[in-house]
Amino acid sequence: MATRVLLIGIHPDAVNITDPSLPKGITHEKIADGIEKALADMRGRGWHAAFCDLRPETAVADIEASLAETWDCIVVGGGIRIPPDNLMLFEAVINTVIRLAPGTPISFNTAPENSADAAARWKGPKA
């Protein structure tokens, strides 16, 4: 059975690209492209990969829907945890994952392009 990895991130159109904590020159299109590349990298490793594209106002419900499935690892995107204004969102994401997927490894990327590497850190030889 293939390794199953869920990437949780903010829907690209819902990202506040004016936030000074985000990289200069970031656009909604660059974010969407990075997510697609991350998922392609995971699939290229033979994994089943999916993206939980949450919106801050519906984050818990979005995650609950994605966690109806079982995952081997959950990667939380940097766009959720890096901007200081997202602290409460980050807490909601982590607490929802812990509540609905206890024991599932959680990893963190620093950019979409290293999401598969983040998951691989917690999957060991199986990854």
Any idea where the domains of the chain sit in the sequence?
Answer: 4-126
Judged by average pLDDT, the poorest of 20-24, 42-46, 101-105 is 20-24
Pick the closest to residue 78 from 123, 41, 23 (CA basis).
23
Task: Measure the CA–CA gap between 119 and 39, rounded to whole angstroms.
Answer: 12
Q: What pLDDT shows up at residue 110?
A: 86
For residues 92-109, b (16+ Cβ closer than 10 Å) or e, as one string? bbbebbeeebeebbbbbb
Category of 14 on φ-ψ map: left (φ > 0), alpha (ψ -120 to 50) or beta:
alpha
Q: Using only the alpha carbons of the chain, give its radius of gyration.
A: 14
Tell me the pLDDT tens digit for each residue of 76-127: 999 999 899 999 999 999 999 999 999 999 999 988 889 999 999 987 444 4
Q: Which CATH superfamily is domain 4-126 in?
A: Response regulator (3.40.50.2300)
Q: What pLDDT shows up at residue 125?
A: 43
